[in-house]
């Protein structure tokens, strides 16, 4: 191949580099590594285009500008390769402004030196014309070459370290970058060595052509710049849970910012210098006991480590391939807010249950008041009808039910003589006599006005009549003394047995009412049974 025909090869290298740079640039929003690869391939484009121009165009201006353009391309390649290696090795790494300035200083100085006529020979000089011109590499070029090799060596070292711990597709990606980078560097070393005599062709762009082709393949086949590993800092340091790594002696080996904040909340002032200190010192005895109990149980526990601070703790043991304990990973979630909400809900539930109980009590009281006479406190006619109906439904020949109807004699005259207040006191006194003599299961009700009814389940007519007689005697013994004088009353009572005298509440009460009228007609202050109206008792 003649020297003049090399321009085609270099032009092809430039085209491939442009295509690769374009593909990488389109992926810049996904990963910073795409921008670094774009810069690298941009530098290769400039370098290859400069060589193509020198070999394809036999023009003095091109030869004069070649060194400065070459230095610009080489500077971009080296800086881009370094940034690419750092970004792939550590996705959290970002090119700081200070680092960018330092990377740019040396290439810019070389470009200026190559462009100035006075310093141009210190970079690169040529004698003769055309492609066969004799090229002399100046001392600045050699210094620049050594600097570039050192920077690339640092980049490859970062990639190699990442390669040792990477797995899967990420390991393949780094292998591609390491392999192509070393290939281009070795090619450049061979080229520089071959040009010591001032002759030869700079075939470095050919290696870069191969590098560009491999990068294109990696972009489409290996997911280069599409599948990007996530650094530890981007995972552990950003999770909201506290993560602590402790050794078998309970010394803290590592922790994330959430763990620092948690420990500071538990024990203010411990945030500085936590790593290397014992967990007992930085977390306190209570927390250490909690962590230890989690490790000895099922690996999970929720407990209160300080007033108002609740922790959900999960513990996992870490061991080496031989099974020897290396320590524990403790993942702690602050659930204080959830616990506070839960306690608030439980408190509200208890308060609600108490409110429901009070409401039930009030409802029962209202229901009871609805069937009570407000003056005497006895049951009213509504309750009497229900109780008597139930008693009649359960009654039989062996277990009858009787009612005693009591009517206060001459009650109107009491009201007329002593006033309604005394009349009310009389009714209340009679009510107390009736309730005082009642047995469990009996129902005492005020029927209305001065009439009362006592329901006696299980009592026959004559037993009911005897009890009615006892009630009559107690009422006759009542005396109400006051400023108004002495007031005493008597009562007349009628007794009726069901279901003989009435199978339903209305008919049974009607029978007892007829017996009361019979008692009043017979002179009052007596008991009359419905079965023998003409034969009063007492």
The pair of three-digit structure tokens given for residue 80, joined into one six-digit string = 């881009």
CA 52 – CA 187 distance, rounded (Å): 18
Crossing angle (nearest 10°) for helices 204-221 and 6-25: 30
CA 214 – CA 218 distance, rounded (Å): 6
CB 457 within 8 A of CB 392: no
DSSP state of 118: T
Catalytic residue among 106, 450, 451, 497: 450
CB 163 within 8 A of CB 171: yes
CA 23 – CA 33 distance, rounded (Å): 12
Sequence-separated (6 or more) residues with CB below 8 Å from residue 440: none
Q: What is the CA radius of gyration of the chain?
A: 55
CA 186 – CA 181 distance, rounded (Å): 9
CB 110 within 8 A of CB 71: yes
- The two beta strands, 485-488 and 491-498, are unpaired
Active site residue 450: yes
Strands (E) located in 44-153: 124-127, 134-137
Strands (E) located in 343-428: 401-408
Q: Which residues are catalytic?
A: 450
């Amino acid at each position: 191949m003649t020297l003049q025909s090399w321009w085609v090869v270099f032009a092809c290298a430039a085209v491939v580099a442009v295509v690769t740079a374009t593909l990488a640039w389109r992926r810049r929003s996904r990963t910073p590594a795409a921008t670094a690869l774009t810069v690298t391939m941009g530098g290769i484009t400039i370098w290859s285009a400069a060589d193509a121009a020198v070999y394809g165009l036999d023009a003095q201006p091109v030869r004069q500008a070649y060194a400065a353009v070459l230095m610009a391309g080489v500077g971009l390649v080296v800086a881009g390769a370094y940034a690419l290696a750092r970004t792939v090795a550590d996705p959290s790494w970002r090119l700081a402004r200070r680092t960018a300035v330092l990377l740019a200083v040396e290439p810019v100085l070389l470009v200026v030196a190559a462009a100035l006529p006075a310093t141009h020979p210190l970079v690169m000089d040529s004698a003769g014309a055309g492609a066969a011109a004799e090229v002399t590499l100046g001392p600045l070029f050699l210094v620049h070459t050594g600097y570039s090799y050192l920077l690339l060596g640092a980049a490859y070292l970062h990639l190699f370290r990442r390669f040792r711990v990477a797995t899967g597709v990420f390991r393949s990606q780094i292998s591609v970058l390491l392999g192509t980078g070393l290939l281009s560097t070795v090619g450049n070393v061979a080229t520089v060595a071959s040009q010591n005599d001032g002759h030869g062709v700079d075939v470095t762009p050919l290696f870069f052509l191969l590098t560009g082709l491999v990068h294109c393949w990696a972009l489409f086949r290996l997911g280069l710049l599409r599948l990007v590993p996530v650094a530890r800092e981007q995972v552990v340091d950003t999770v909201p849970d506290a993560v602590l790594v402790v050794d078998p002696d309970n010394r803290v080996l590592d922790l994330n910012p959430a763990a620092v904040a948690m420990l500071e909340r538990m024990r203010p002032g411990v945030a500085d210098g936590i790593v290397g200190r014992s967990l007992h010192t930085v977390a306190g005895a209570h927390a250490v006991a909690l962590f230890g109990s989690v490790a000895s149980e099922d690996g999970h526990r929720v407990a209160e480590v300080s007033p108002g601070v609740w922790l959900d703790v999960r513990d996992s043991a870490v061991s080496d391939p031989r099974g020897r304990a290396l320590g524990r990973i403790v993942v702690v979630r602050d659930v204080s807010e959830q616990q506070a909400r839960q306690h608030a809900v439980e408190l509200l539930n208890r308060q609600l249950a108490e409110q429901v109980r009070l409401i039930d009590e009030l409802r029962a009281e209202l229901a009871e008041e609805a069937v009570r006479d407000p003056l005497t406190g006895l049951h009213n006619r509504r309750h009497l009808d229900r109780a008597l109906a139930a008693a009649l439904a359960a009654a039989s020949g062996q277990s009858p039910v009787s009612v005693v109807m009591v009517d206060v004699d001459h009650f109107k005259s009491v009201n007329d003589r002593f006033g309604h207040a005394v009349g009310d006191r009389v009714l209340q006194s009679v009510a107390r006599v009736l309730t005082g003599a009642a047995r469990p299961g009996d129902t005492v009700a005020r029927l209305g006005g001065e009439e009362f009814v006592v329901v006696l389940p299980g009592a026959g007519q004559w037993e009911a009549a005897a009890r009615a007689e006892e009630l009559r005697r107690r009422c006759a013994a009542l005396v109400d003394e006051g400023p108004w004088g002495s007031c005493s009353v008597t009562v007349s009572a009628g007794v009726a047995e069901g279901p003989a005298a009435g199978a339903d509440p209305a008919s049974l009460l009607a029978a007892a009412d007829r017996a009361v009228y019979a008692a009043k007609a017979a002179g009052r202050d007596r008991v009359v049974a419905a079965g023998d109206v003409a034969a009063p008792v007492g």
